Structure 1
Amino acid sequence: MQSVKQPSICILIPYFGAWPFWMSIFMESCRYNSSIDWILYTDCGTPDNCPGNVRVVDITYSDYCRKISIFLNLKFMPENSYKLCDIKPALGYIHADELVGYDFWGYSDIDLVYGDLRAYFSNERLQSKDLFSTTGRRVSGHFCLMRNTEEMRSAFMRAKDWRQVLSSNQHAAFDEKHFSKIFIRHKNSLSIIRTMAAKFDSWLTKAEFNETYVTPNARIPWVDGTYNFPTEWYWTNGIVTNNLTGGHGFPYFHFMVWKSKWSKSAMTPMLDLGNMRSEAVFTERGITVV
């Protein structure tokens, strides 16, 4: 029986300033997802431990902002690079030439470590929708996949006042708020109302919103409905687990909440994977390799 070809995936990440101390383990988690490609647009240089499926495009922040301005036909030159979060849904449009030949494209933050992405984003799952969010009630800003079609690359233009929002110097959470409204509405209404709305707007059926519990310690309760979150997360040879769910693998672990505690400590040296024998352990105190 002939096997079904895996859809090709490319993840786009603009990042400027300085690589965080955990960048080596982020790169290692990309390496273990060898059938997926990443493109990083940055002024930070090529990270140590950079695998072959990660391409680094050396570009200054000002030049990258000019590129955005040209492709979106608006003025984009914010002082704070955090504004780039608003541009995430437009990355497929801005970098369309570099996505030729890929079936899916996505965006991602780097304050996370990937597990087995293909195990979660299976061929069957990717056939079902055009956008895949790893949170249940909005488009996930830290990771999202979209089908690489002209319709989906330009979908952000359907958001109300998108040009004004992206032109503003203020971060507006465009990726999670404005963009989400294209695909999910009436989320607090009765199911019959949501069903009726979808009959009149096909965009309400294009996306999957699935809570994967990859950002613990935040406002979303844990799998069991409580706020008793794992106290340890493990990255072991490309698999992400924790001390509460046993061998259940997660697509990634997003340590957004814990990293703020790490940054309050003394200057943390870049994580050295040279002595890593089997896994990296994440706690609210930091990351250790064992």
Structure 2
Amino acid sequence: MLDLQLKSAFLVPFFGELPVYFPFWAKSCELNHPNFHWFVYNDRITESKALNPAVTLIPYKFGEMVADFKQRLDINIPGRSLRRVCDYRLMFYFLRNGKEDLDCYDFIGFTDMDLVYGRLLGCMPEKMECYSMISADNDRPCGPFTLIKRLEMHSLKEYQYIKKHMEPQEHRAFDESKELMQVVSGNLPPYCRADLLQPTMTKGVSNTKVYAIWEKGKVTIYDIYCNRLEAGFFHFSRYKDKKRFVIDTDALRRDRWGIYKFGITRLASRWHRTKMNLSLLI
């Protein structure tokens, strides 16, 4: 049985203007409260505030992060490389604990913004407290979604090669490595499976010819093979930077919207759904 009292916090640094799809991301977080909370660290906002019950915005500049790494962890961050933030976020628990009350959470996680969440609690393993890591990929950590048991985080700080991963200029994807999984799994086994959280990464489901519908907190994916599956989240990273990816801001005010290769759209008529179905053939 799932322990409904368990709480998880995602620490999400994002330097620069928040993306245009951010309001949809934040709305999909909201219905996962109170079991999940997201702390967003950003250099364009000026004051801390609760965006909704599940999302807290916190002003934090890149230079502040660099100083905190040096002061708290004796790690030297080599210049402003935003791609490297994927690895830096692994250490945000040690940078921010005390400023945010992170010790009240059972799991500390990292995640991306180019996705929308469904009903996360239903995608968690039974007795999730028995696992050191929960990720949305098979047999390894997942950049878009990974949780680490807070009591296992000390292993990461004490890892003898942690500087080797944090200090280089080039991105090494430590956040998605089996090495990371091994570091934090000394006392408990990891649970790394794509099927419930991210079914588009499983056998027999398309990862390219696919779209999703978000409806009152539930995410359902549809693919070209006629699969229809509920998902913990839908990751639209391959679409987001295309000029054709257009966001219908009116969709945010509705309880149901679609995410596909041509953007985020309301589903106010059969034509909207037809366009999404046709996109699977293009």
TM-score, structure 2 length as denominator?
Answer: 0.80
The letter for the 1-side match of 2:254 is R
Matched, 1:103 2:106: yes
Structure 2 counterparts to residues 1-290 of structure 1, below 5 A: 5-35=4-34, 36-45=36-45, 50-97=51-98, 98=100, 99-121=102-124, 124-149=126-151, 152-157=152-157, 161-177=161-177, 179-180=179-180, 182=182, 203=186, 206-212=189-195, 214=198, 216=200, 220=201, 222-224=202-204, 227=206, 229-243=208-222, 244-246=226-228, 248-260=229-241, 262=242, 264-265=243-244, 272-273=249-250, 276-290=253-267
| Closer, same or farther: CA 59–127 of 1 in aligned 2, 3 Å | closer
What is the CA distance between 1:177 and its match in structure 2?
A: 2.2
**How big is the alpha-carbon RMSD for the aligned residues of Structure 1 and Structure 2?**
3.0
Give, as a single letter, the amino acid of the residue that structure 2 aligns with 1:119. G
Structure 2: how far apart are the matches of 1:93 and 1:49?
Answer: 22
CA shift digits 1:138-184 (9 cap, x unpaired)? 111111111111xx213324656321221112111111126435269
Cα-to-partner distance string for 1:21-46 (whole Å, 9 max, x where unaligned)? 11110010011112121111111328
Aligned length: 258
Alignment partner of 1:256: what SS? Answer: coil
* Structure 1 unmatched runs, 5+: 185-201
Answer yes or no: is the 8 Å Cα contact 2:48–2:58 preserved in 1: no
The residue identity in structure 2 corresponding to 1:128 is: C
> For residues 24 and 75 of structure 2, what CA distance do their matches in structure 1 show?
36
Task: Check conservation: 2:155, 2:183, Cα contact below 8 A.
Answer: no
| Cα separation, 1, equivalents of 2:33 and 2:249 | 21
TM-score by structure 1 length? 0.78
Higher-strand-fraction structure: 2
8 Å contact 2:132–2:188 — kept in the other structure? no
Q: C-alpha separation between the residues in 2 aligned to 1:289 and 1:47?
A: 31
Identify which of structures 1 and 2 has the higher relative contact order when contacts are C-alpha pairs closer than 8 Å and 6+ apart. Answer: 1
Percent sequence identity is 21
Q: 1:144 to 1:208 in 2, by over 3 A?
A: same
Contact 2:143 2:176 in 1 (8 A): yes
Q: 1:58 to 1:88 in 2, by over 3 A?
A: closer
